[in-house]
Structure 1
Amino acid sequence: MIDFDVVHVFCGPGGQFGNELGVIRDGSVFPTDAGRLEVARELGFSETVFVDDAERAVIDIWTPSVRLPFAGHPCVGTAWLLDAAELVTRSGRVGVRHDGEFTWITARPEWAPMRTLRRFDSAAAVDALEVPPPGAWIYAWAWQDEAAGRVRARAFPGRGDAIAEDEATGAAAIQLTAALGRSLTITQGRGSQITTDPRPDGWIRVGGRVSQHARR
């Protein structure tokens, strides 16, 4: 039996939608990379977090096919679940702020592998996209309201594993924010919501709502 929590990250305004995240609070139960990969595949979430030091909030992030040195929705969800003031990832230390219904992290856009940011003419064009074949990691986006910084997006990891489309992706949102140089409110997937804010020193803040789905 695997003891883990499930949280939904970047939920919509009513608490619906959001990207599921599995969090294993005692990462020592799975000490090897092979074991963690097997668990991530078995659980089947877009990302699974192994907490290696709960007091310092040291985490290790896995998809069903690869380890990630940093990822946005796992950091936001784990920070909320652990009520952490900071996270330690393989890329570096992630600042955390809890602000009412939102949990925010601050990270560097270069910490995650670069996504292909593909702009479309309209939100309807993004909605109409078919899942592309495996290949590039594509973040498809369009302005819903450019003046207000409102974006429609969908994410296609392209890894060829069980995750053909990602419901809400903090790292891609961070990279889009860095490319555009402005704060954004992103509606992704079925209706998840991601909010971002570029900082003057090149760091990007990304946040959203989190809800606990289950503990298994």
Structure 2
Amino acid sequence: MNQSSSAFSLFALSVLLILSSTSFAQTDASPKLEPSYEVSLQVLIGSNEPGSKGDVPSNLSSITRQLKNNFSFSNYRLANTFLGRISNTGNIEYKSISNILGQETDAESQTFLEWSLFNFRSVQSGFQARSFRFGAKVPVRTGGTRSESGRVDPIINYESVGLTMNMIGLPANMPTLIGTISLPRTTGTIFLIATVRSADL
């Protein structure tokens, strides 16, 4: 009887030790790091204004050829490039004061810019996001007032421009034109180009 009890006790102790070591190994294991991706949003502006021509990066050569076949602008310039790092189901939100639209008259009439990408996912054939938004409040001169000294101070109003898209899909490693926005009080147009690639960890 004593031998049976001792054997059972040793067996139970062995089982407890095995379970404890297994549980410790499971809790000690570090969670697997999700793959990261780099999202690049490039803002290209097309216009017919003299002197506004600028250099366009070589990675956008296929995009500019596409634009020249569909739009009659004589000049294209890269206004800015925005970068964000993101993982699956992540979000990007960006807000800033900017002069990328070339519409500012002075330091007190800047452009208010924001863009966002929500619920980003990697899928079999590329990438997908539940929503994308790009918006800006652009200063527009609507008149002026003359001070006692004779100086003319501009009257600036802000007009909102933007683009919102739901369930947007993007291929991997390929600049993709995702939308256009007309600039207020001008003949210019904003072209939004997104590129998603794997980020080095």
State the TM-score bracket (shorter-chain normalisation): under 0.3
Structure of greater Rg: 2
TM-score between the two structures when normalised by the length of structure 2:
0.27
Q: Normalising to structure 1: TM-score of the pair? A: 0.26
